[in-house]
C-alpha cells in the first residue's frame, strides 16, 4: 500500500525513466542509458519511500502510542520529539483516540528537523481532545521535506493508530503527553508508529 497523495511522485519517476529508456532505444546514446539507470533507481526509491504498511493497532485508553517511525531525539518536559530518517515510514498516526479540535498549519523555513531552531520550520499541529486531556501532535518539515500532507481535519473523531498525515522526505514529529501518563520511552530509542 502507498501513502495517500504519493501517486504523482511515483508516476513521475516511472514516466521519466520510461522516457529516458525510449530515448536510449531510439538514439543508442550511452548518456540516456546511464540516465535510465538513475531514473530506475529513483523510481524504486519512490516506491519504497512512499510505502504505507498496514499495522494492526490494539486500541486502548490505558496508553499512548508513537505517532511516527523514527528515533526519539529529545524529551522536553511532557513533549517527545521523534526524528524520521529517510528509511522510516513517513505516514503519521494518532497516538490516542479522541476528537481533533484544531489543525493549525504554519509556513516556515527548512532547517534540519533535528535542530532546536527548527521551531521556525513549516509545521502542522493537530490538537486532539482525549479522555485524558489535550494531546498535541506536530508535524515539522525538515531540510528536504517541503510538503506536509494532512489526512485528518478539524472535528474528525479519530481512533488510536489512525493515519492523520505524512511528511515527505525526512522530518520530525513532536507529541505532548498528558499528565495522566508516564513517559516510558527514552532519548535515543527507536519507535514505530502504531506499535511503540
Write b or e for each residue in 55-76: b if 16 or more Cβ atoms lie within 10 A of its Cβ, otherwise e. eebeeeeeebbbbbbbbbeeee
Q: Are 83 and 70 in contact (CB under 8 A)?
A: yes
Residue 130 appears among annotated catalytic residues: no
Half-sphere exposure of 89 (CA within 13 A, CB side): 23
Alpha helices per DSSP H over 106-189: none
Q: Considering the candidates 15, 30, 171, 192, report the single residue annotated as catalytic.
A: 171
Rounded CA separation 87/71 (Å): 11
3-state secondary structure of 22: helix
Just list the catalytic residues: 171
Amino acid at each position: 500500500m502507498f501513502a495517500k497523495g504519493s501517486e504523482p511522485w511515483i508516476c513521475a519517476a516511472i514516466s521519466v525513466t520510461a522516457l529516458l529508456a525510449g530515448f536510449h532505444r531510439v538514439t543508442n546514446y550511452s548518456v540516456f542509458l546511464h540516465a535510465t539507470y538513475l531514473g530506475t533507481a529513483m523510481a524504486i526509491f519512490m516506491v519504497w519511500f512512499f510505502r504505507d504498511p498496514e499495522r494492526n493497532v490494539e486500541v486502548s485508553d490505558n496508553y499512548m502510542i508513537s505517532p511516527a517511525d523514527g528515533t526519539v531525539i529529545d524529551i522536553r518536559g511532557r513533549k517527545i520529539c521523534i526524528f524520521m530518517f529517510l528509511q522510516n515510514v513517513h505516514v503519521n498516526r494518532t497516538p490516542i483516540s479522541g476528537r481533533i479540535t484544531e489543525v493549525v498549519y504554519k509556513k516556515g523555513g527548512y532547517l534540519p528537523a533535528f535542530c532546536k531552531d527548527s521551531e521556525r520550520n513549516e509545521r502542522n499541529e493537530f490538537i486532539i481532545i482525549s479522555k485524558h486531556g489535550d494531546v498535541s501532535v506536530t508535524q515539522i518539515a525538515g531540510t528536504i521535506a517541503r510538503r506536509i500532507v494532512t489526512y485528518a481535519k478539524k472535528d474528525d473523531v479519530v481512533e488510536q493508530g489512525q493515519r492523520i498525515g505524512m511528511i515527505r522526505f525526512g522530518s520530525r514529529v513532536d507529541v505532548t503527553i498528558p499528565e495522566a501518563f508516564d513517559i516510558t520511552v527514552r532519548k535515543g530509542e527507536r519507535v514505530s508508529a502504531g506499535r511503540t
